[in-house]
A and B are shown apart, each in its own frame.
Chain A
Amino acid sequence: MPRTLLSALAILGLALSAPSWSQNIKIAILGPMAFVQGENHWAGAEMARDEINQAGGISVGGKKRLIEIVKVDTNEIQSVPDATNAIERAITRDRADFLIGGFRTEAVLAMQEVAMDAKKLFLGAGAAHSKLGLNVEQNYERYKYWFRITPVKDVDLGRYVFAAMGSIAAQIRNDLKKPQPKVAIVAEKAAWVEALLKAAQDNLPKMKMEVVGVWQPSATATDVTAELSAIKRSGADIVFTILSGPVGIVIGRQMGELQLPAIAFGINVEAQKDGFWQATNGKGQYVSTLDTYSEVDITPKTVPFVKAFQQRYKKAPTYNAATYDALLVLKDAIEKAGTLEADKLVPVLEKTVHTGTAGVLEFDKRHDPLWGPGRVTGIAVQWQNGEKVPFWPNNWQGVSYKGMKPFILPKSQ
């Protein structure tokens, strides 16, 4: 009798633990969870999950189902194999229906392969390299399950950063009376930088700026005083940064410590984080960077989202928190298609025009978000006295979000 009871319980236990019994839609949130990027992936997803579940869940073919988000730590900043292992586990062990997240291009390219092998929808929320979208164009049948929610692809990041750069250069010409500002490019040695670096070297002269040198420190360099010494000698007015690693903190702090008479602007992912001010010991004054979120009216959803995020998590969101938008986009697509099947969701996603928290999302034929006025433009912020102050776009191609403040040039020393 005990034996039959035990085996009955065992079978029951097995049956109950089998995912096919679960009514919830499982969505894996992939990111480096010990780091700010992963924390934001998760936070944005949590906010979306709570909102969706409080409204009863997602309606799949008339039946409402709740969503369940699964935290998957890819550790991709430290190790690409860790990331591919993590996504494999998410698909095979956790039986996730959908995959959202990613950050390091090198890791996301590998993770994309795993996801496409399993024919799972993978919505990117961090990696910028064009290749991710190029794969969709070159081999549609295999890669069609990939969609990039954020950021805009590297080439568009280039157009975006040069647009903002133009306004800073105009201010330098006006205020400092320098007709041809000198630019020192500091680009970390990483894959995502390549297209942008080339674009900078081509475009800056056309924008009437002189490139006085290109420095490529390691993304994890802890000391750039040698580079900064050389940059000071070059007489640069702008230090154009293309950085995503901790070297972004080091540059901000050391420029501040040595009071370098140049302004740092460009892409500096570490400078987008609240922790930047403390990490630079308060020396990162005037460091400016592209950013995604601030309390400005990019769309009607932006300010409420940023405020709610700040209240819940006691810090400002980084662009990775767009997993919030990813989940809502997915919800809309599932409700329209009436099914969870990836093959049926792809054409619906392709026709999406979604007002998100960072802009209006619409995908091109490479499943990359469209960049430009009326879609996703991004913003630029500058650190002023411990606060990230948004300054761009301010009267650019007719675009001006309410809440923009003026950009400050450091007085020359």
Chain B
Amino acid sequence: MFQDILVTGLVSGGVYALLALGFSLIFGVARIVNIAHTAFYMLAAYALYALAVKAGLPLAVAIPLSVIAVVAISLACYKLVIEPVRRHEAAVRIATIALGLVFQESLLIAFGGHYLGVPAIMDGFASILGVRVSYQRLVVLAAVALVLVALWLLLNRTRLGLAIRAAANDLEVANLMGINVDRVAMLTVAVSAALAAVAGAVVAPVFVVDPFMWLPPLVTMLAIVVLGGLGSLKGSLIGAFLIGLVEAITVFAVPAGAYLKGAVALTIMVVVLLVRPEGLYGVAFEEER
């Protein structure tokens, strides 16, 4: 049983990690409360469905096209919806909730409420420690590793990354230092949307595609980012795998309570907020910004 919990936990943790990295960037690092983040992941899944299944394009073409399309949409959304209310956190929150709902309802009208399947990059499965794991999930884990490296390079080895971290640290001083804060915010949204899109392309074959698929991951992402600590990519990564393991434990320990695995993640979030609000690796004290 332990191998089952370990392997299943790590594998589902991988899926969460891919989504959490993008979410952590936009929410934790750039402090833009983009509730529509997982909606971009949903858009990418549908774009992949439209390109790969409906139009019959090969995956090697459909995946990059979906990512580009979603990044383009995110830039348009940023300009039209987020930028005008950027200074008011609450307004951004409300505007992005509305954005998410608009995407949901548009997809519902365009594709119906039907559950759709997106083809996997690789078929078949491997046997790890006696537990069967599909290749697509291993692709997800590989994607997590790649994205993590790329993100680290971006944040720590490029000027844009420096600007993003500076703006996240102290917005007003970054502005005073000559950093075009609005442009940085826009690029952060684009990067995080790209991450969400990659997650959509890689994770969608593992899940089911429907117009409401953006809501459950949103809730889990919030739990993970709180657990890992706002502003810490490392924390979000570890939080994702922890939540994956906890969910696997729930299913194995209480099979009849398998439906509770989502609730367990949220309970952890509540406990963390009560006991250690900064999470595992977050900053303990926040300055006014």
Contacts and interface: CB of A to CB of B under 8 A. Distances in A.
Interface residues of B, number: 47
Interface in B237-289: 247-248, 251-252, 255-259, 261-262
Nearest to B136: A257
Nearest to A248: B115
Contact of B112 (A34, A229, A260): A34
B115 A270 contact: yes
Contacts of B116: 275, 278-279
Contact of A78 (B8, B132, B134, B212): B212
A34 B108 contact: yes
B248 to A, nearest CB: 5
Contacts of A36: 113-114
B259 A189 contact: yes
A223 B255 contact: no
Given A216-B256, A217-B259, A259-B125, A227 B251 contact: yes
Interface in B51-102: 53
B206 A35 contact: no
A394 B205 CA distance: 37
Contacts of A227: 251, 255, 258
A254 B210 CA distance: 17
A78 to B, nearest CB: 7
A410 B131 CA distance: 20
A214 B114 CA distance: 28
Contact of A226 (B12, B119, B207): B12
Nearest to A273: B114
Contacts of B119: 281
Contacts of B112: 34-35, 39
Contacts of B258: 215-218, 221, 224, 226-227
B181 interface: no
B114 A275 contact: yes
Contacts of B131: 229
B259 to A, nearest CB: 4
A230 B251 contact: yes
A244 to B, nearest CB: 12
Interface residues of A, number: 42
Contacts, number: 115
B208 A230 contact: no
Nearest to B203: A222
A153 to B, nearest CB: 24
B209 to A, nearest CB: 8
B113 A226 contact: no
Contacts of A223: 12, 15, 206-207
B210 A226 contact: no
Contacts of B9: 226
B213 interface: yes
Contacts of A78: 212
Interface in B101-127: 108, 112-120, 123, 125
B1 interface: yes
Nearest to B112: A34
Given A226-B248, A226-B252, A230-B252, A253 B8 contact: no
Contacts of B115: 246, 249, 270, 275, 279
A32 interface: yes
A224 B118 CA distance: 17
Interface of B: 1, 4-5, 7-9, 11-12, 15, 53, 108, 112-120, 123, 125, 131-134, 136-137, 205-208, 210, 212-213, 216, 247-248, 251-252, 255-259, 261-262
13 contacts: A36-B114, A78-B212, A215-B256, A221-B259, A225-B133, A225-B137, A226-B248, A230-B4, A232-B132, A246-B115, A257-B136, A258-B132, A259-B132
Given A34-B112, A224-B258, A281-B118, 10 more contacts: A217-B258, A223-B15, A226-B252, A227-B255, A233-B4, A257-B123, A257-B136, A275-B115, A275-B116, A278-B117
